Amino acid sequence: MVSVRLWIENKRLISLGLRPLAAVRDLIESLKPPLAPVSPGDLVSRLALRLADRTEPTVSALNEQIDDIEDQVIDDITEVSRPQLADIRRTAIVLRRYMFPQRDALTSLEIEDVDWLSDRDRSHIREAAERMMRLSEELDAIRDRAQVVHDQIMDSRAERINRQTLVLAVVAALFLPLGLITGLLGINVGGIPGAGYHWAFWIVCALLVAIGAGQLWLFKRIGLF
Protein backbone atom coordinates (compact mmCIF):
# COMPACT_ATOMS: atom_id res chain seq x y z
CA MET A 1 0.00 0.00 0.00
CA VAL A 2 1.35 3.43 -0.99
CA SER A 3 0.28 5.95 1.64
CA VAL A 4 0.23 9.75 1.68
CA ARG A 5 0.35 11.62 5.00
CA LEU A 6 -1.09 15.11 5.10
CA TRP A 7 -0.83 17.93 7.63
CA ILE A 8 -3.60 20.38 6.81
CA GLU A 9 -4.29 23.86 8.12
CA ASN A 10 -6.38 26.76 6.82
CA LYS A 11 -3.62 28.15 4.61
CA ARG A 12 -1.09 25.35 4.55
CA LEU A 13 -0.87 21.71 3.48
CA ILE A 14 2.21 19.54 4.00
CA SER A 15 2.35 16.04 2.51
CA LEU A 16 4.81 13.21 3.13
CA GLY A 17 5.21 10.04 1.12
CA LEU A 18 7.87 7.34 1.02
CA ARG A 19 7.12 6.17 -2.50
CA PRO A 20 5.83 8.06 -5.55
CA LEU A 21 2.10 7.95 -6.22
CA ALA A 22 0.63 8.49 -9.68
CA ALA A 23 -2.38 10.40 -8.32
CA VAL A 24 -0.09 12.83 -6.48
CA ARG A 25 1.99 13.31 -9.62
CA ASP A 26 -1.14 14.10 -11.61
CA LEU A 27 -2.21 16.58 -8.97
CA ILE A 28 1.18 18.30 -8.96
CA GLU A 29 1.04 18.67 -12.74
CA SER A 30 -2.33 20.44 -12.39
CA LEU A 31 -1.05 23.01 -9.87
CA LYS A 32 -1.06 25.77 -12.44
CA PRO A 33 -3.58 28.58 -12.95
CA PRO A 34 -6.43 28.54 -13.79
CA LEU A 35 -6.76 24.88 -12.75
CA ALA A 36 -4.83 25.17 -9.49
CA PRO A 37 -6.68 24.35 -6.22
CA VAL A 38 -7.86 27.40 -4.34
CA SER A 39 -7.74 25.92 -0.82
CA PRO A 40 -6.36 22.96 1.13
CA GLY A 41 -9.83 21.40 1.10
CA ASP A 42 -9.99 21.72 -2.67
CA LEU A 43 -6.58 20.07 -2.93
CA VAL A 44 -7.62 17.15 -0.71
CA SER A 45 -10.88 16.61 -2.58
CA ARG A 46 -9.05 16.62 -5.91
CA LEU A 47 -6.54 14.11 -4.55
CA ALA A 48 -9.38 11.81 -3.47
CA LEU A 49 -10.94 11.99 -6.93
CA ARG A 50 -7.56 11.39 -8.58
CA LEU A 51 -7.12 8.23 -6.51
CA ALA A 52 -10.46 6.97 -7.82
CA ASP A 53 -9.53 7.97 -11.38
CA ARG A 54 -6.33 5.97 -11.18
CA THR A 55 -8.06 2.89 -9.79
CA GLU A 56 -10.92 2.66 -12.30
CA PRO A 57 -8.79 1.60 -15.34
CA THR A 58 -7.25 -1.24 -13.32
CA VAL A 59 -10.66 -2.52 -12.22
CA SER A 60 -11.96 -2.19 -15.79
CA ALA A 61 -9.01 -4.20 -17.09
CA LEU A 62 -9.74 -6.95 -14.55
CA ASN A 63 -13.38 -6.99 -15.68
CA GLU A 64 -12.33 -7.38 -19.31
CA GLN A 65 -9.94 -10.21 -18.46
CA ILE A 66 -12.53 -12.15 -16.51
CA ASP A 67 -15.04 -11.55 -19.36
CA ASP A 68 -12.59 -13.11 -21.83
CA ILE A 69 -12.01 -16.13 -19.60
CA GLU A 70 -15.76 -16.60 -19.11
CA ASP A 71 -16.22 -16.56 -22.90
CA GLN A 72 -13.53 -19.23 -23.21
CA VAL A 73 -15.29 -21.40 -20.64
CA ILE A 74 -18.66 -20.94 -22.38
CA ASP A 75 -17.07 -21.87 -25.74
CA ASP A 76 -15.59 -24.96 -24.03
CA ILE A 77 -12.00 -23.97 -24.77
CA THR A 78 -9.81 -26.31 -22.75
CA GLU A 79 -6.73 -24.11 -22.79
CA VAL A 80 -7.99 -21.68 -20.14
CA SER A 81 -5.10 -20.02 -18.33
CA ARG A 82 -5.50 -21.03 -14.70
CA PRO A 83 -2.49 -18.91 -13.61
CA GLN A 84 -4.11 -15.86 -15.22
CA LEU A 85 -7.38 -16.63 -13.44
CA ALA A 86 -5.57 -16.96 -10.12
CA ASP A 87 -3.72 -13.70 -10.76
CA ILE A 88 -7.00 -11.87 -11.45
CA ARG A 89 -8.54 -13.16 -8.24
CA ARG A 90 -5.42 -12.34 -6.22
CA THR A 91 -5.26 -8.81 -7.66
CA ALA A 92 -8.94 -8.21 -6.87
CA ILE A 93 -8.45 -9.37 -3.29
CA VAL A 94 -5.39 -7.17 -2.77
CA LEU A 95 -7.03 -4.07 -4.25
CA ARG A 96 -10.20 -4.62 -2.24
CA ARG A 97 -8.12 -4.87 0.94
CA TYR A 98 -7.09 -1.23 0.48
CA MET A 99 -10.31 0.09 -1.04
CA PHE A 100 -12.46 -0.22 2.06
CA PRO A 101 -10.02 1.56 4.41
CA GLN A 102 -9.68 4.35 1.84
CA ARG A 103 -13.46 4.62 1.55
CA ASP A 104 -13.78 4.72 5.36
CA ALA A 105 -11.10 7.41 5.58
CA LEU A 106 -12.89 9.56 3.00
CA THR A 107 -16.25 9.05 4.70
CA SER A 108 -14.77 10.07 8.05
CA LEU A 109 -13.09 13.11 6.50
CA GLU A 110 -16.37 14.23 4.94
CA ILE A 111 -18.14 14.48 8.31
CA GLU A 112 -15.20 15.99 10.22
CA ASP A 113 -15.91 19.40 11.73
CA VAL A 114 -13.03 21.33 10.15
CA ASP A 115 -13.25 24.84 8.79
CA TRP A 116 -10.93 24.27 5.84
CA LEU A 117 -13.50 22.01 4.11
CA SER A 118 -16.23 23.81 2.19
CA ASP A 119 -19.53 22.28 1.15
CA ARG A 120 -18.19 21.88 -2.36
CA ASP A 121 -15.11 20.05 -1.03
CA ARG A 122 -17.28 17.74 1.08
CA SER A 123 -19.40 17.00 -1.97
CA HIS A 124 -16.32 16.00 -3.95
CA ILE A 125 -15.02 13.86 -1.09
CA ARG A 126 -18.43 12.17 -0.85
CA GLU A 127 -18.31 11.47 -4.58
CA ALA A 128 -14.84 9.97 -4.23
CA ALA A 129 -16.03 7.77 -1.33
CA GLU A 130 -19.00 6.56 -3.38
CA ARG A 131 -16.76 5.75 -6.31
CA MET A 132 -14.46 3.82 -4.00
CA MET A 133 -17.48 1.92 -2.71
CA ARG A 134 -18.59 1.09 -6.24
CA LEU A 135 -15.09 -0.06 -7.19
CA SER A 136 -14.95 -2.21 -4.06
CA GLU A 137 -18.23 -3.86 -5.02
CA GLU A 138 -16.90 -4.48 -8.53
CA LEU A 139 -13.79 -6.09 -7.06
CA ASP A 140 -16.03 -8.33 -4.95
CA ALA A 141 -17.92 -9.31 -8.09
CA ILE A 142 -14.67 -10.00 -9.96
CA ARG A 143 -13.42 -12.18 -7.13
CA ASP A 144 -16.68 -14.14 -7.03
CA ARG A 145 -16.78 -14.51 -10.82
CA ALA A 146 -13.20 -15.78 -10.83
CA GLN A 147 -14.14 -18.38 -8.22
CA VAL A 148 -17.18 -19.46 -10.25
CA VAL A 149 -15.07 -19.77 -13.42
CA HIS A 150 -12.48 -21.78 -11.50
CA ASP A 151 -15.21 -24.13 -10.25
CA GLN A 152 -16.54 -24.52 -13.80
CA ILE A 153 -13.06 -25.37 -15.07
CA MET A 154 -12.58 -27.95 -12.33
CA ASP A 155 -16.04 -29.44 -12.97
CA SER A 156 -15.31 -29.72 -16.70
CA ARG A 157 -11.97 -31.35 -16.00
CA ALA A 158 -13.56 -33.79 -13.54
CA GLU A 159 -16.24 -34.63 -16.10
CA ARG A 160 -13.64 -35.37 -18.78
CA ILE A 161 -11.69 -37.55 -16.35
CA ASN A 162 -14.88 -39.43 -15.42
CA ARG A 163 -15.67 -40.05 -19.08
CA GLN A 164 -12.16 -41.35 -19.74
CA THR A 165 -12.29 -43.52 -16.63
CA LEU A 166 -15.64 -44.94 -17.76
CA VAL A 167 -14.20 -45.82 -21.17
CA LEU A 168 -11.24 -47.57 -19.55
CA ALA A 169 -13.56 -49.44 -17.18
CA VAL A 170 -15.79 -50.61 -20.06
CA VAL A 171 -12.78 -51.78 -22.06
CA ALA A 172 -11.38 -53.63 -19.05
CA ALA A 173 -14.74 -55.24 -18.32
CA LEU A 174 -15.10 -56.22 -21.99
CA PHE A 175 -11.76 -57.98 -22.25
CA LEU A 176 -11.66 -59.51 -18.78
CA PRO A 177 -13.77 -62.65 -19.56
CA LEU A 178 -12.23 -62.92 -23.03
CA GLY A 179 -8.77 -62.87 -21.52
CA LEU A 180 -9.83 -65.45 -18.93
CA ILE A 181 -11.04 -67.86 -21.62
CA THR A 182 -7.96 -67.48 -23.82
CA GLY A 183 -5.74 -67.80 -20.76
CA LEU A 184 -7.35 -71.11 -19.77
CA LEU A 185 -7.01 -72.43 -23.30
CA GLY A 186 -3.38 -71.40 -23.44
CA ILE A 187 -2.09 -73.30 -20.41
CA ASN A 188 0.37 -76.10 -21.19
CA VAL A 189 -1.48 -79.04 -19.61
CA GLY A 190 -3.23 -81.99 -21.11
CA GLY A 191 -6.93 -82.23 -21.65
CA ILE A 192 -7.50 -78.94 -23.47
CA PRO A 193 -10.81 -79.35 -25.37
CA GLY A 194 -10.44 -79.37 -29.15
CA ALA A 195 -6.65 -79.65 -29.14
CA GLY A 196 -6.75 -82.37 -31.78
CA TYR A 197 -9.21 -80.65 -34.13
CA HIS A 198 -8.12 -78.11 -36.74
CA TRP A 199 -11.46 -76.30 -36.65
CA ALA A 200 -11.42 -75.79 -32.86
CA PHE A 201 -9.59 -72.45 -33.23
CA TRP A 202 -12.39 -70.99 -35.31
CA ILE A 203 -14.98 -72.22 -32.86
CA VAL A 204 -13.15 -70.47 -30.03
CA CYS A 205 -12.92 -67.25 -32.09
CA ALA A 206 -16.64 -67.37 -32.81
CA LEU A 207 -17.32 -68.00 -29.13
CA LEU A 208 -15.21 -64.99 -28.14
CA VAL A 209 -16.99 -62.77 -30.67
CA ALA A 210 -20.36 -63.94 -29.36
CA ILE A 211 -19.35 -63.28 -25.77
CA GLY A 212 -18.00 -59.82 -26.72
CA ALA A 213 -21.21 -58.95 -28.57
CA GLY A 214 -23.26 -60.10 -25.60
CA GLN A 215 -21.22 -57.92 -23.28
CA LEU A 216 -21.63 -54.90 -25.55
CA TRP A 217 -25.39 -55.44 -25.59
CA LEU A 218 -25.45 -55.77 -21.80
CA PHE A 219 -23.34 -52.62 -21.26
CA LYS A 220 -25.60 -50.65 -23.58
CA ARG A 221 -28.66 -52.05 -21.81
CA ILE A 222 -27.49 -50.89 -18.39
CA GLY A 223 -26.48 -47.45 -19.68
CA LEU A 224 -22.68 -47.55 -19.74
CA PHE A 225 -22.64 -46.09 -23.26
The answer to whether the CB of 153 falls within 8 A of the CB of 211 is no
- Band (pLDDT 50/70/90 cuts) for residue 80 is low
The arrangement of secondary structure in 5-160, i.e. its CATH architecture, is Up-down Bundle (1.20)
3-class DSSP assignment, residue 8: strand
| Domain regions of the chain by residue span | 5-160, 164-185+197-221
Is 0.75 topped by the overall pTM?
A: no
Mean pLDDT of all residues in the chain? 82
* DSSP strand pairing (5-8 vs 13-16): antiparallel
Q: Of 151, 148, 149, 139, nearest to 72 (Cα)? A: 149
Query: At 88, is the secondary structure helix, strand, or coil?
Result: helix
Give tens-digit pLDDT for 148-164: 888 888 888 888 888 88
Quick one: which H or E segment has residue 15? strand 13-16
